[in-house]
Amino acid sequence: MFYYSIVQQSIESAGAPERRPYRSGRREAQARATRQAILDAARRLFAARGYASTTREAIAREADVAVQTVGAIFGTKRALLDALVADADRGDPGSPPAAMRSWPHDLREQRDGAALLRHHAASSRAVSERTAAVTEVVRRAAAADPEIAELWDALRRQRHRGQATVVELLTALTPLRTGLTRTEAADLLWTLTDDALYHALVVERAWRPERFDAWLGDALCSLLLDA
């Protein structure tokens, strides 16, 4: 519906003098900085206090902006949480979501199944570095909010589909461990690349990222491939 509205407006404006919108690079930079400050404040407060106990007013104070600014940029607190999830997934501002990046191509470039799984282990850890804190916020909020519970379920299903894709790429290179089905392999990948495991070992137990990468790669090879 929205797309066709834009098309119609383009047709109606054909032949009219072209207007070039005025853009201020400084204003755009300030707007991006304000948006990021609000996201950072929300991330800190949601992690420290929980989603339900954090108000937009508290987020505004933490970000040093007016509460009206939070509302103008994000609208509802739920929309702010959605933006946090998307921001964590992107990693770098303006970059596409992780699911749309080149990771399937990178996995296809691996020479064998073990190399693919070790590459996937390192990539998963890098993603968890960005997403683990926000994932925990959503998980905790889902227990008390039915709408966020739906978001949580959707995120988990989406991640499982991603792991199933990894299994497809893996089996194009090498057979799975004897007796292991593709569904079971996807389940194992889904479990071991969960943000909660990264948080437990790297954040809580202070494992070095390199140690975690090596351990996870070894675990995936042992569980999914024959020796």
Residue 48 placed within a domain? yes
Residue 105 placed within a domain? yes
* Phi, psi (rounded to 5 degrees) for 180: -95, 130
pLDDT of residue 21: 55
Residue 155 placed within a domain? yes
Mark the ranges of the chain whose per-residue pLDDT is less than 50: 1-16, 93-94, 96, 99-100
Residue 18 placed within a domain? no
- Domain end marker among 39, 74, 95: 95
Please tell me the pTM assigned to this model.
0.78
Looking at the 3D structure of the chain, how many domains does it have? Answer: 2
pLDDT of residue 22: 55
Beta strand ranges found along 33-147 (DSSP E):
none
In 3D, which of 90, 110, 87, 109 has the Cα closest to residue 40? 87
Residue 86 placed within a domain? yes
DSSP string for residues in 62-109: HHTS-HHHHHHHH-SHHHHHHHHHHHHHH-STTPPPGGGSSHHHHHHT
Q: What is the extent of the structural domain holding 221?
A: 98-227
pLDDT of residue 25: 82
Indicate whether 105 and 178 sit together in one domain. Answer: yes
pLDDT of residue 5: 34
